[in-house]
């Protein structure tokens, strides 16, 4: 696989070196193109050393090279060489040039000349990113099939805090690999994802909530969308921008989340419940703002178990995947939840550690199904989302039970297999889709 990495002139240009390394680790051959502004931030030599190949910095070097005629025209040759073009960081300027077909340097000319997939990872000041001109350019590019690797939120190089930070190099590399290798493997699927936390009102201004940021669910929605699925995202309140080209349903309370999911689940072929839904709600909500009058006891009532209800109402062929955030006995609790709820799989997060899980940009998880337990080490949530989708798709693949029950299998293995399948069928409700998954 051959990828051209385009580097434009932002402070995040230095992170492009990490992107090059991340792609190379996946056996991708990389060439680098730099704009003139990018060269103010990083020397082309850095990329030449990493790739072992010359870095393209100008349209005119090639033209003034007496050997150019025999070698062909570099920007056209590169456009044809590349299986994908990824621009990281993508400045507001380069996005504008791409959107308007301006071809006044190597990178923008290459962009027009290539027919391969193009990805851009914008990075800029939050106001530049939110500017209607930038947003309109991004929307134009997206309409034309360019994949936008959404910037994250956080402290920016300019000192401001907000959206505009370039996605992590590992996540960009994962998106590139997704485009190259796993493109469209969710085409035809309708994926319903829930994300974020819910809020249960105590009075007109206060609520019981949780620290869920929604990042994992949004990453799943984005990953499913980029792999060709139609995505319905049911989200509690978050500070995140709605992923592009997803049907967004905003909810606040657990009950609203339940109604939204139940109303739409029939359309879905896959339901992923990544939201942190309240387990309890206050029995009564004060109409007026509560005053401080000494100690207070809150009476709480349990909310509906949405995952269990979704499993009860599943239609044949639907896959249901839940999440379990655990602070102790992760595996035991995760497996117990898998059995009790009857979902096809549970993604178990350890949320007790610093820097992973709730509210963090990275996460580590274990993907548990009746037949498998897959450890996923700490990685950016967008990358983890792809790994989770890979495992979910694997659930659809036929399991080689026929071979395992063949004549050559010894009695012990057969007994173990029977036990496993007893667990599988005991833990799952009957239904054509479920049976299909077990028998195939
Ligand atoms: C110190 C500094 C940092 C900059 N950082 C960014 C940035 O992060 N994102 C961005 O869009 N522009 C940034 N700019 C502005 C671009 O460098 C400028 O728009 C330039 O024309 C972009 O050219 P290019 O798109 O051809 O690389 C920065 C400029 C300076 C001087």
Which tens digit of pLDDT belongs to each residue from 127-147? 999 999 999 999 999 989 899
Which phi and psi angles does 240 have, rounded to 5°? Answer: -95, 150
User: Measured in angstroms, how far is the CA atom of residue 420 from the centroid of ligand 1?
Assistant: 58
108 CA closest ligand 1 atom index:
26
Q: What is the pLDDT of residue 382?
A: 85
Which residues share a beta bridge with 230?
A: 190
Q: Which residue has the tokens 């072992």?
A: 52
Please count the other Cβ atoms lying within 10 Å of the Cβ belonging to residue 338.
Answer: 23
Q: Establish whether residue 282 lines the binding site of ligand 1, counting it when its CB lies within 6 angstroms of any ligand atom.
A: no
Is 246 assigned a catalytic role?
Answer: no
CA dihedral 28, 34, 38, 42 (to 10 degrees): 60
Q: Establish whether residue 37 lines the binding site of ligand 1, counting it when its CB lies within 6 angstroms of any ligand atom.
A: yes
Instruction: Reduce the DSSP state of residue 291 to 3 states and report it.
Output: coil
Active-site hit among 77, 158, 242, 262: 158
Q: What is the pLDDT of residue 356?
A: 60
Q: What is the pLDDT of residue 330?
A: 81
The residue whose CB lies within 8 Å of the most ligand 1 atoms, and thus the one to mutate among 7, 15, 91, is: 91
User: Measured in angstroms, how far is the CA atom of residue 362 from the centroid of ligand 1?
Assistant: 28
Task: Decide if 60 contacts 74 (C-beta within 8 A).
Answer: no
Which phi and psi angles does 197 have, rounded to 5°? Answer: -100, 165
User: Measured in angstroms, how far is the CA atom of residue 92 from the centroid of ligand 1?
Assistant: 8
Q: Establish whether residue 92 lines the binding site of ligand 1, counting it when its CB lies within 6 angstroms of any ligand atom.
A: yes
Instruction: Please provide the DSSP assignment of 399-436 as one string.
Output: P-HHHHTSTTS-HHHHHHHHHHHHHHHHHS---HHHHH
Q: What is the pLDDT of residue 60?
A: 86
Q: What is the pLDDT of residue 420?
A: 38
Q: What is the pLDDT of residue 394?
A: 93
- Give per-residue pLDDT as tens, 96-126: 999 999 999 999 999 999 999 999 999 999 9
- The parts of the chain modelled with pLDDT lower than 50 are 68-70, 401-440
Q: Establish whether residue 213 lines the binding site of ligand 1, counting it when its CB lies within 6 angstroms of any ligand atom.
A: no
Q: Establish whether residue 362 lines the binding site of ligand 1, counting it when its CB lies within 6 angstroms of any ligand atom.
A: no
The residue whose CB lies within 8 Å of the most ligand 1 atoms, and thus the one to mutate among 5, 9, 109, is: 9
User: Measured in angstroms, how far is the CA atom of residue 13 from the centroid of ligand 1?
Assistant: 10
User: Measured in angstroms, how far is the CA atom of residue 241 from the centroid of ligand 1?
Assistant: 23
Q: Establish whether residue 38 lines the binding site of ligand 1, counting it when its CB lies within 6 angstroms of any ligand atom.
A: yes
**Domain annotation for the chain: domains and CATH numbers:** 2-181 (3.40.50.1950), 190-284+296-396 (3.40.50.10300), 401-439 (no CATH)
Q: 378-398 burial by CB neighbour count: b if 16+ within 10 A, else e?
A: ebbbbbbbbbbbbbbbebbee
Q: Establish whether residue 91 lines the binding site of ligand 1, counting it when its CB lies within 6 angstroms of any ligand atom.
A: yes
Model confidence pTM above 0.85: no
d(CA 182, CA 404): 29
Q: Which amino acids are annotated as binding site for CTP, given as ranges? A: 279, 289, 323, 337, 341
Tokens describing residue 135? 């947003």
Q: What is the pLDDT of residue 216?
A: 95
Q: Which amino acids are annotated as binding site, given as ranges? A: 279, 289, 323, 337, 341
105 CA closest ligand 1 atom index:
26
């Amino acid at each position: 696989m051959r990828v051209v990495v385009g580097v434009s002139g932002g402070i995040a240009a230095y992170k492009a070196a990490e992107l090059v390394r991340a792609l190379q680790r996946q056996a991708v051959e990389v060439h680098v193109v730099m704009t003139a502004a990018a060269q103010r931030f990083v020397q082309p030599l850095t990329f030449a050393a990493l790739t072992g190949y010359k870095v393209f910095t100008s349209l005119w070097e090639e033209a003034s090279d007496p050997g150019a005629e025999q070698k062909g025209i570099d920007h056209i040759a590169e456009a044809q060489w590349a299986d994908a073009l990824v621009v990281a960081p993508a400045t507001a300027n380069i996005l504008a040039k791409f959107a308007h077909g301006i071809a006044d340097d190597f990178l923008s000319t290459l962009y027009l000349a290539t027919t391969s997939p193009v990805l851009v990872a914008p990075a800029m000041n939050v106001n530049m990113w939110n500017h209607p001109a930038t947003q309109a350019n991004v929307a134009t590019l997206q309409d034309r099939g360019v994949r936008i690797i959404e910037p994250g939120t956080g402290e920016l190089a300019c000192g401001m805090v907000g959206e505009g930070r370039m996605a992590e190099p590992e996540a960009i590399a994962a998106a590139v690999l997704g485009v190259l290798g796993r493109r469209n493997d969710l085409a035809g699927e309708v994926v319903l994802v829930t994300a974020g936390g819910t809020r249960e009102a105590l009075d007109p201004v206060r609520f019981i909530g949780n620290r869920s940021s929604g990042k994992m669910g949004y990453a799943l929605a984005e990953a499913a969308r980029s792999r060709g699925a139609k995505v319905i995202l049911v989200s509690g309140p978050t500070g995140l921008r709605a992923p592009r080209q997803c049907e967004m349903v905003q909810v606040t309370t657990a009950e609203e989340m339940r109604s939204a999911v139940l109303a739409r689940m029939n359309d879905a072929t896959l339901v992923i419940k990544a939201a942190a839904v309240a387990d309890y709600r206050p029995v009564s909500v004060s109409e007026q703002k509560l005053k401080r009058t000494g100690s207070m006891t809150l009476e709480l009532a349990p909310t509906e178990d949405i995952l269990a209800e979704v499993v009860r109402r599943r239609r044949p062929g639907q896959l249901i995947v839940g999440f379990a955030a655990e602070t102790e006995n992760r595996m035991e609790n995760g497996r117990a939840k898998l059995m009790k709820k009857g979902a096809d799989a549970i993604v178990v997060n350890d949320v007790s550690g610093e820097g992973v899980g709730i509210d963090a940009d990275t996460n580590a998880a274990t993907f548990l199904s009746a037949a498998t337990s897959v450890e996923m080490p700490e990685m950016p949530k967008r990358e983890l989302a792809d790994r989770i989708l890979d495992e979910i798709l694997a659930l659809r693949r036929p399991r080689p039970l026929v071979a395992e029950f063949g004549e050559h299998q010894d009695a012990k293995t057969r007994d173990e297999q029977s036990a496993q399948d007893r667990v599988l069928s005991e833990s799952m409700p009957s239904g054509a889709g479920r049976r299909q998954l077990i028998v195939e």
